[in-house]
Structure 1
Amino acid sequence: MRISNRKRVMVTGGAGFLGSHLCDRLLREGCDVLCVDNFYSGTKDNVHHLIGNPNFELIRHDVTFPLYVEVDEIYNLACPASPIHYQRDPVQTTKTSVHGAINMLGLAKRIKAKIFQASTSEVYGDPEIHPQPESYWGRVNPNGIRSCYDEGKRCAETLFFDYWRQHDLEIKVVRIFNTYGPRMHPNDGRVVSNFIVQALRGDDITIYGDGMQTRSFCYVDDLIEGFVRMMGAAKEVTGPINMGNPGEFTIKELAETVLNMVGGKSKLVFKPLPSDDPRQRQPDIGQAKSILGWEPQVKLQEGLEKTIDYFRKQVSASVM
């Protein structure tokens, strides 16, 4: 017999950038939260403030191995998401996406839990359609240096929908576009954190390619709101649903904006574009708006201010 009426929610990758913010949100909503992470790219610092909360539990575990727990909902966020981290051990990255999905889906099936998959805009590869709707199948290199992540996430989506069709499992699949905010890893190679840290240190700001490639940047609080709405949607709402900010900026525009906000004397330095780096990335969020009533609220300038404040404290404390 259950002693508590609190919803029990597991977040894999819960000590990561997105996972830790999701744990915060779920605890504020009165859930019991089980945070699962192997700390490959996540860090205990991201959830340190939650240690001691009686409704929060932290487990060191790698999702490529089965896990036996009792929960009501599972958010599967486990997988390094930045190129530097996922290319460091590409075989393990693929295993995390594929074996991790198999293990979490198997758990959800056994305990009849609702399960959420954090997929990615990288399933679209270097797109021929702009902006990218969920109906677009993508243009992905299956054997490039980014394929461990791109194809791993595509396979995870396949597994989720096969479990849904074959076992009537309640699934929720969200495709995440570029997200930024406090608790990003300072050395993860993503443009927002890169540019902010370089500007704060007075280093040259490194732009790969000509800087004309575009990205759309969503503040983390907006994305977490979308996650929660998706998990709370009706059973027939499976996704995949795009989540991101459709405001599109060139990488050069982002660098110049960060530099103006931080100040200093950093210069823009251009280097060759990495292999398979997409030229355009912008979400079509029509489904998120019509089905979930969700769209981003935080403007880029506002989100950057909060993110810069976070990294300024990190630089001042010489943590990085």
Structure 2
Amino acid sequence: MTQKTSSKILITGGAGMIGSNLAKRLIKEGHQVKIVDNLWRGKLDYLHEDNKPIIDFDKDFYNRDLSISGSCDDLLDDIEIVYHLADIVAGIDYVFSNQGSLFRQNNLINSNVITSVRHSGKKVKGFIYVGTACSFPLTRQNSLEVIPLREEELYPAHPESAYGWSKLMGQYETELLEKETGIPCSVLMLHNVYGSPCDFGERSQVIPALIRKAINFPNEDFIVWGSGEQGRAFIHVNDVVNALCLTKDKGLGKGIIQIGPSICTSIKEIAETVVQISGKQIDIVFDTSKPEGDKARSADYSKAQSILGWEPLVNLRSGLEQQFNWIEKRIESEGSHT
């Protein structure tokens, strides 16, 4: 068996759910990892395993605001691979209530990181940009009759949200980076990622929010935003990390690749499953006065399959049970300290 060589890797947004899991995997594989994160949603606590830090926080962690120009120039001196995960994102309420600032901040973050990579003088040997299925046109996501999305349907562009637009702009600038510098790049367009560690507070996304409500019920009402008919292609963080690791070895220079299942699961089904896992008698309330975003989407992941040898492996039910248990322990721990 060929011995894999160790790489020096920078992860932006590395203290978040995806970034922290990616860092743990890469370190186990023998790579040297640096992390930059402003801890807006990420937590240093996430960068621990068995109650021990996975990196030297004094040497390999940088608390930086990447929306400031040049903020990561000095971090790339010896870096070979950059995983760019950092962005501003939260639940649907936050996204649609802060569209202007979110759009501006994400454009600044993306452009600053990509510019730093440009200035590295080709020391960086690979740049992996994490995009989102929210960048696909609204016209392909506004029906409950779901036909899996394909990468070539990205244009003409018409994302529903400023978040989708901002991520598309970063994706486009990544393509320019590769074209103009020759640095091999990859764009992974992720569908709805869930798992742990995760934010389950007021800014959380749909699955952790529903799990929190179920755990806190009846002290917190179990209200689902929208009709519940809207659906998403939910993908577990472990499957995403698999894709990110495969991309480093097989996906650079191969363009845009979707990461998500071909199955669209309704929010109603997610809510019902969470209630079942909780073991409680909960009447689900749907608040149709609240936004619900795109109607439905799923992924044709044949490109990921052919280029990366990737497919989703984590069963949704078991993934939800794992996340439920993680959040429940966190809530119990927080309660014991109040």
TM over 0.5: yes
Cα deviation digits, residues 231-281 of structure 1 (max 9, x gap): 2115431x2110012222111111111111111122211112545710012
On the 8 A contact 1:205/1:269 being kept in 2, the answer is yes
| Deviation of the 1:224 alpha carbon | 0.5
- The equivalent residue for 1:287 is 303
Give TM-score, length-normalised by structure 2: 0.85
The aligned amino acid for 1:209 is G
- In the superposition, relative to structure 1, how do residues 58 and 25 fare at CA in structure 2: closer, same or farther (>3 Å)? same
Tell me, what secondary structure is at the counterpart of 1:164? helix
Aligned length: 312
- The equivalent residue for 1:118 is 130
- The equivalent residue for 1:200 is 215
Matched, 1:95 2:104: yes
What is the CA–CA distance in structure 1 between the aligned matches of 2:242 and 2:40, rounded to whole Å?
Answer: 26
- In the superposition, relative to structure 1, how do residues 280 and 89 fare at CA in structure 2: closer, same or farther (>3 Å)? closer
Gapped regions of structure 2 (runs ≥ 5): 142-146
On the 8 A contact 2:226/2:292 being kept in 1, the answer is no
| Deviation of the 1:40 alpha carbon | 1.4
* 1:29-178 equivalences in 2 (<5 Å): 29-49=29-49, 51=53, 53-54=55-56, 57-65=60-68, 66=70, 67=72, 68-69=74-75, 70=77, 71-83=79-91, 84-86=93-95, 89-111=98-120, 112=122, 113=124, 114-128=126-140, 130-137=147-154, 146-147=161-162, 149-178=163-192
Please report the RMSD computed on the Cα atoms of aligned residues, expressed in angstroms.
2.4
- The equivalent residue for 1:23 is 23
Q: Report the more deviating stretch, 303-312 or 227-236.
A: 227-236
On the 8 A contact 1:126/1:277 being kept in 2, the answer is no
- In the superposition, relative to structure 1, how do residues 91 and 34 fare at CA in structure 2: closer, same or farther (>3 Å)? farther
- In the superposition, relative to structure 1, how do residues 258 and 120 fare at CA in structure 2: closer, same or farther (>3 Å)? same
What is the CA–CA distance in structure 1 between the aligned matches of 2:117 and 2:232, rounded to whole Å?
Answer: 34
Q: Report the more deviating stretch, 272-281 or 167-176.
A: 272-281
Q: Report the more deviating stretch, 98-107 or 175-184.
A: 98-107
- In the superposition, relative to structure 1, how do residues 312 and 138 fare at CA in structure 2: closer, same or farther (>3 Å)? farther
- In the superposition, relative to structure 1, how do residues 224 and 78 fare at CA in structure 2: closer, same or farther (>3 Å)? same
The aligned amino acid for 2:171 is E
Tell me, what secondary structure is at the counterpart of 2:89? coil
- The equivalent residue for 1:308 is 324
| Deviation of the 1:230 alpha carbon | 1.1
| Deviation of the 1:54 alpha carbon | 4.7
What is the CA–CA distance in structure 2 between the aligned matches of 1:121 and 1:234, rounded to whole Å?
Answer: 18
Matched, 1:244 2:260: yes
* 1:176-255 equivalences in 2 (<5 Å): 176-187=190-201, 188-202=203-217, 203-233=220-250, 235-237=252-254, 239-255=255-271
What is the CA–CA distance in structure 2 between the aligned matches of 1:115 and 1:85, rounded to whole Å?
Answer: 29
On the 8 A contact 2:230/2:292 being kept in 1, the answer is no
Tell me, what secondary structure is at the counterpart of 2:326? helix
What is the CA–CA distance in structure 2 between the aligned matches of 1:298 and 1:282, rounded to whole Å?
Answer: 16
| Deviation of the 1:120 alpha carbon | 0.2
What is the CA–CA distance in structure 2 between the aligned matches of 1:197 and 1:257, rounded to whole Å?
Answer: 13
On the 8 A contact 1:123/1:138 being kept in 2, the answer is no
| Deviation of the 1:141 alpha carbon | 5.9
Gapped regions of structure 1 (runs ≥ 5): none
Identity %: 24
On the 8 A contact 2:12/2:86 being kept in 1, the answer is yes
Tell me, what secondary structure is at the counterpart of 2:153? coil
| Deviation of the 1:154 alpha carbon | 1.0
- In the superposition, relative to structure 1, how do residues 52 and 300 fare at CA in structure 2: closer, same or farther (>3 Å)? closer
Give TM-score, length-normalised by structure 1: 0.89
